[in-house]
Amino acid sequence: MIGFLWSRLCGLDTPVRLRRVESTRRVLSLELNKDRDVERMHENGINSLDIDPVEGRYMLSGGADGIVVIYDLESSSQTPSYTCKALYKVGKGHPDVHKFSVETVQWYPHDTGLFTSSSFDKTLKVWDTNSLQLAEVFQFDGTVYSHHMSPLAVKHSLIAVGTKNPKVQLCDLKSGSSIHTLQGHRGEVLSVCWSPRYDYILATASADSRVKLWDVRKAAACLITLDQNNGEKSKSSNESANTAHNGRVNGLCFTNDGLHLLSVGTDDRMRLWNSATGENTLVNYGKVCNDSRKSVKFTVSRGCSPEFVFVPYDSTIGLYTIHSGEKISVLRGHYNDVNCCVFQPHFQELYSGSKDCNVLAWIPSVREPLPNEDGEKSRSQVHLHPAFQDAWSSSDEDS
Amino acid sequence: MEPTLEELVESLTTSGEPQLDPEKFKQLKKICKSSDEHIKHVYHLLMTQLNQNHAEIRLPAFHIISELFSRSHLFRTLLISNFQEFLELTVETDHDQPLPPPQEVAQKLKHLAIKTIQEWHEKFGEGYKKLSLGYHFLKQNKKVDFQDVRIRTVAERKREEEKQKRLENIYKEKAKRAKREMEEMLEDIQSCLTEMENCFSLLLPDPEDFSLVNHEKDDGDGILMKNNSLKPKSPQGGDDDEQPCCSKDLPQGAAPSTELDPKGEGKVESSLKEPSDESDDDFAPVEESFIREHGLGSRNYTLNIEISTDTKINANEDNRDILNSLIDACKLAKNKYWPAVQSWIQIFTKAGISDDSLRFAIDLKKKLEGVVKKQEEMNIESKTRNTKAAADSDEDDDCFEEVPEKEGYEPHIPDHLRSEYGLDAAPKPTPPARTKRTRSRWRKRKRNDDESDPTCAAATLKAMRDKLSAITPSASSSGEHRSERAKREEELSRAPVVPFGIDLHYWGKDQPTAGKILKFSSQHRFWASNDIEEEVENKEVEAMLKTRYITFPGKFEPVTHKCKTPMANGSLCERQDRIKCPFHGKIIPRDELGVPVNPEDREREAKEKFERQAQEQDWRDPELMREIEQATGEDLGSSRCPKKGQKKKGKKKKYPNLTDLTQNANTSRSRLEKKVFNKGSVKRVISAMNQMDQRRHEKFANQFNYALN
């Protein structure tokens, strides 16, 4: 660290380098920290989390009890330990609250004045954050598994919606209507994801174990159907031809640069695809336990030098490097299946929601003071929490 | 030699004892203390033990864990990093993974684990985030009530609630039904109650009715009084015959009783000087009524009325019907209504209904109980009285057994003739038979025997009775006869009762036609000559007609002795066979300890025992047999061999102190299953069924339906 600072001071390194190094270190040292708590608001499992992309300060959470909560992740108090307060709540008392489990919540990418939520009650609702009023409702004929708005598009304001219906719906916020359907899947659409690189590129994952890339301007058919075997017929049996996984595909996530696409499926695999060519990069992540019937939201880190992916793995969260597939660490803390996790890029924090009704904050651990002298070392020992001390009784000594 | 960590952990966890062996545990702690590596190792060992499917292994493992948890930071971090699994294994957070049997130990483990986790949370919760998260998870998600001594998970609680609800519904339904039933039955019960009340009031008037004299009131329950002194109170009671006890009389009798007093006073003045005369006809008309009413000539002298202390209800013709109906009603109330009301009350209280219906039911029950009690108090005596009266009616002159109507007896006495009969003019015609009886009773009470008065009906009765008694002894006049008769009776009592037959018909006589058969020489009915009749004697038929078969089964005598052979479990054989016990052979007399009483028996038994042992030890070496069994897989009965075999078994089992979980499987059901689903029997059944099928096919082969398959 000192070395990096020095070389930055001397102008040997670019600022990016220092930032990358530090954020990588921080990501690697993520841990469950007693300094940060998230207020417990949900009575049931948490299905979806989203942090606003503008400030990185406000977090949305959608629970299986139909409730949507807005948290403030920062605290006005200067103390290091605080609890993230829930600012607003679309609770049971609200006239427009979702009747059934909220599956996905998302902020409007350019402003926190608007957010969207979709639910098993077959609706997608658009909310005005400030008045907490319902702005728009889209009705569908099937339960909504997932929806997504393009994070960078300025020319359109389309929401892609994956429902029980194999057709992917495109809803336009401008006109307030469902304007378009994308046909091609044969099973329910579990996950949809816009490319962060191109305005009109959309990836969809379905229970028919296929992942398709679409250009929404081209209505006729999809661009690419991802094939796990890269078209090598000899390896694939007829059934697995043109499939991305051998089970339901229930999670999609683009890397930050939009060049690669990650997908997870109920075959307990995670795959990395080249989003331009649709090629399977054949990175081996090992087993990624996944038996969810619904969509799984996972996330990637931003601004680290090898980039990382955080994937729910039963009741834990697995931390993998994206391109080498190496499992770096496992974050343990939940007591039931983890449904979603979201990365806060500014402070390298991770928030995860689980079926056990908890939202846990994973905070980079504080750098331990460097041991200069023996005395200082002993003092640091004293500073340790008493709970961390061993307590071998003296009676044990005698034996 | 120091035991290794693995050995220590294994021996500690498989001891099967509720507490840890302190010596061994000290050694374990010592090893753990020495280095972090050891702690890691012991953590993994303990987790594997905790994963065992036996609650008696998990419990001591948990004990060790809790001890180490409080001591080592490293151990805490290790355990907390895998806290979820730990919870699953000890607190049963995952319903798909229930705690292993035995059940009690599992419950104990769960209880202890929850308590310990709470303690940990209090002590270390600040330092270990995940621990407090786990605590809150248990508290909020699994709804573990840490205060609750009985730990119940949500599911259990829900189940219980549902059960409660279901029960409540059932109770409500029952209560509704009971209500309906009650409404239906209410009328019957009410009518029964009123009937009984009326009967009571007829038999025993209320104490309020005895307004004449105080002392009469006190022991007013005497039925005699009712019949004697009370009844005449009625205004119509100017005649001395008594009113029949019917319901309409009583209120009438009760009401005027008050206004009777002043009238009585007036009479007393007039009749002061006159000595009372009991004979009915001698009274002046004014006094007459007084006497009719009170049975006294005057009010001025005291009259001691002897009332027998044992109050009896004399069952007579007057009140027989009343008594009968009372008894019937009481039976009905006791056997039908009371239990019904009782069950309603139970149902109502169970259902938690406390409205009018419950109150009403309780009232009903009280009423019924009171009525039944009343009936019991008075009726027991009447019953005994009844039976007694029936038994020796001859001695009871004042009792009212049915007497044949005497000649010249007029059932109805015309009014103008009543004075002739010593009766007063009656406003209502009443049966004179009753009149006579009541009169006679009345006289009895006054110790005034009128039987000598020939004009009285009672005298006639007595004469008739005397006559009757004179006739009966005449039948057995001579002493000789009597002894003969006694003898005969005695023999008769001994004689067996047999069905009537031809042999009895000719008892003591020769059977003239015994064994004789008419034989016709010709087979033809018409052409044969009529007079030729041949009689042939047949010995067999004769014997058949003369003999009688009497089966003599004897009397069944229950066996009183027991086998009493000492058994392996220390008790004595309880079988009660007549001669031979199927297990222990011939039954011989034994004392309380099971030792034969006769010395030769004892000797024989000892010899047999010795022989049996010698035989077994000879060729049945259990170990050898077991080996052979293992090799061949056949049961030679080595398990039946005593002593040695058992020791061997204990060695075979890995952890003798743990509860054997497989033992539970040895139920009657499993044994039956073994028999029923055993391959051979299944095959046999299948083949039998196939055969049946085949037969049907053969039978109906010409029907295309069967020919097809």
Per-domain boundaries in chain A: 33-234+241-365
Q: Is residue B370 scored above 70 in pLDDT?
A: yes
A335 contact residues in B (CB cutoff 8 A): 83-84, 87, 93, 133-134, 137, 141
A393 contact residues in B (CB cutoff 8 A): 71
Interchain contact, B81 vs A332, CB within 8 Å:
yes
Helix axes B5-13, B55-69, angle to 10 degrees: 120
pLDDT attached to residue B448: 47
pLDDT digits 0-9 by tens, A374-392: 444 444 444 445 556 666 6
B81 contact residues in A (CB cutoff 8 A): 332
Distance of CA B551 to the CA centre of its chain: 39
Q: Is residue A79 scored above 70 in pLDDT?
A: yes
A392 contact residues in B (CB cutoff 8 A): 29, 33, 71-72
B73 contact residues in A (CB cutoff 8 A): 387-390
Q: Is residue A124 scored above 50 in pLDDT?
A: yes
pLDDT attached to residue B246: 42
- One-letter amino acid identity for A303? G
Q: What is chain A's length?
A: 399
3-state secondary structure of B313: coil
Q: Is residue B120 scored above 70 in pLDDT?
A: yes
**Structure-token pair, residue A3:** 């070395």
**Structure-token pair, residue A164:** 């029980």
Task: Determine the average pLDDT of the residues in A186-209.
Answer: 90
CB atoms closer than 10 angstroms to residue A328 = 15
pLDDT digits 0-9 by tens, B206-228: 555 555 544 444 444 444 444 44
- One-letter amino acid identity for B612? R
Nearest to A67 by CA among A39, A38, A45, A51: A45
Rounded distance between C-alpha atoms, residue B138 and residue A336, angstroms: 11
Rounded distance between C-alpha atoms, residue B306 and residue B304, angstroms: 6
pLDDT attached to residue B431: 46
Nearest to B317 by CA among B375, B253, B389: B389
pLDDT attached to residue B128: 79
Q: Is residue B366 scored above 80 in pLDDT?
A: yes
Torsion, Cα A289 A291 A294 A295, to 10 degrees, reads 20
**Structure-token pair, residue A51:** 């942090």
B146 to chain A nearest CA, in Å? 18
Rounded distance between C-alpha atoms, residue B305 and residue B229, angstroms: 10
Rounded distance between C-alpha atoms, residue B74 and residue A390, angstroms: 8
3-state secondary structure of A365: coil
Interchain contact, B87 vs A335, CB within 8 Å:
yes
B129 contact residues in A (CB cutoff 8 A): 32-34, 333
Rounded distance between C-alpha atoms, residue B296 and residue B278, angstroms: 8
Contact between residue A351 and residue A337 where contact means Cβ atoms under 8 Å apart: no
pLDDT attached to residue B683: 92
Interchain contact, A391 vs B27, CB within 8 Å:
no
Q: What are phi and psi of B430, to 5 degrees?
A: -125, 150
pLDDT-wise least confident of A59-68, A116-125, B662-671 = B662-671
Please name the residue of chain B whose CA is at the shortest distance from the CA of residue A336.
B84
pLDDT attached to residue B400: 54
CB atoms closer than 10 angstroms to residue B180 = 10
pLDDT attached to residue B337: 83
**Residue B269 burial (CB < 10 Å; 0-12/13-18/19+)?**
exposed
> Which of A34, A356, A387 is facing B137, going by the closest CB pair?
A356
pLDDT bucket at B569, cuts 50 / 70 / 90: confident
Topology of domain A33-234+241-365 in CATH is Methylamine Dehydrogenase; Chain H (2.130.10)
Rounded distance between C-alpha atoms, residue B302 and residue B142, angstroms: 91
pLDDT attached to residue B685: 92
Interchain contact, B127 vs A386, CB within 8 Å:
yes
Interchain contact, B137 vs A32, CB within 8 Å:
no
- Give whole-number Cα distances, A140 to A128, A168, A170, in Å: 21, 11, 11
Task: Determine the average pLDDT of the residues in B287-309.
Answer: 62
Mutation choice for A interface testing from B8, B21, B28, B29 by most A CBs within 10 A: B29
A388 to chain B nearest CA, in Å? 5
Task: Determine the average pLDDT of the residues in B220-248.
Answer: 42
pTM score, two decimals?
A: 0.53
| Half-sphere exposure at residue A398, Cβ-oriented, CA atoms within 13 angstroms | 4
3-state secondary structure of B580: strand
A112 to chain B nearest CA, in Å? 31
Interchain contact, A335 vs B84, CB within 8 Å:
yes
Using a CB–CB cutoff of 8 Å, tell me whether B30 touches chain A: yes
Find the angle CA(B302)-CA(B307)-CA(B309) to the nearest 5 degrees. 140
Interchain contact, B73 vs A389, CB within 8 Å:
yes
Nearest to A259 by CA among A310, A326, A213: A213
> Which of A40, A315, A391 is facing B84, going by the closest CB pair?
A315
B126 contact residues in A (CB cutoff 8 A): 34, 385, 387
pLDDT digits 0-9 by tens, B596-618: 888 888 888 888 888 877 776 65
pLDDT digits 0-9 by tens, B132-179: 888 888 877 777 666 654 555 566 777 888 888 998 888 888 888 888
B 114-173 residues with CB < 8 A to A: 123-124, 126-130, 133-134, 136-137, 140-141
Distance of CA A323 to the CA centre of its chain: 18
- Residues in CB range of A223: below 8 A, 6 or more apart: A201, A212, A213, A214, A215, A278
pLDDT bucket at B398, cuts 50 / 70 / 90: very low
B96 to chain A nearest CA, in Å? 13
3-state secondary structure of B149: coil
B71 contact residues in A (CB cutoff 8 A): 390-393, 396
pLDDT-wise least confident of A163-172, B139-148, B223-232, B677-686 = B223-232
Using a CB–CB cutoff of 8 Å, tell me whether B208 touches chain A: no
The percent of residues in chain B predicted with pLDDT above 90, rounded, is 1
Task: Determine the average pLDDT of the residues in B283-309.
Answer: 60
The percent of residues in chain A predicted with pLDDT above 70, rounded, is 88
Using a CB–CB cutoff of 8 Å, tell me whether B359 touches chain A: no
How many beta-carbon pairs under 8 angstroms link A with B?
71
pLDDT digits 0-9 by tens, A57-74: 899 999 888 889 999 888
Interchain contact, A392 vs B137, CB within 8 Å:
no
- Residues in CB range of B253: below 8 A, 6 or more apart: B205, B209, B230, B231, B233, B234, B237, B243
What radius of gyration, in Å, describes the C-alpha atoms of chain A?
Answer: 23
**Residue A83 burial (CB < 10 Å; 0-12/13-18/19+)?**
middle
Please name the residue of chain A whose CA is at the shortest distance from the CA of residue B122.
A387
**Structure-token pair, residue B502:** 């031809």
Q: Specify the higher pLDDT residue, B325 or A375.
A: B325
Question: Which alpha helices (DSSP H) does B392-478 contain, by range?
Answer: 432-445, 457-475
Task: Determine the average pLDDT of the residues in B689-707.
Answer: 79
End-to-end CA distance of chain B: 77
B26 contact residues in A (CB cutoff 8 A): 396, 399
Q: Is residue B62 scored above 50 in pLDDT?
A: yes
Transcribe B509-577 into DSSP letters. S--TTTTEEEE-SSS-SSSS-SS--EEEE-HHHHHHHH-------------------B-TTSSB-----
Mutation choice for A interface testing from B30, B123, B133 by most A CBs within 10 A: B133
pLDDT attached to residue B217: 41
In this structure, what DSSP letter does residue B596 have? B
pLDDT-wise least confident of A267-276, A344-353, B215-224 = B215-224
Q: Specify the higher pLDDT residue, B212 or B238.
A: B212
pLDDT bucket at B394, cuts 50 / 70 / 90: very low
- Residues in CB range of A143: below 8 A, 6 or more apart: A100, A103, A120, A121, A122, A163, A164
A383 to chain B nearest CA, in Å? 12
Element (H, E) at A112: none
pLDDT bucket at A204, cuts 50 / 70 / 90: very high
In this structure, what DSSP letter does residue A300 have? E
3-state secondary structure of A308: strand
pLDDT digits 0-9 by tens, B76-106: 888 888 888 888 888 877 777 777 777 788 8
Interchain contact, A332 vs B130, CB within 8 Å:
yes
Contact between residue A352 and residue A340 where contact means Cβ atoms under 8 Å apart: yes
Interchain contact, B73 vs A388, CB within 8 Å:
yes
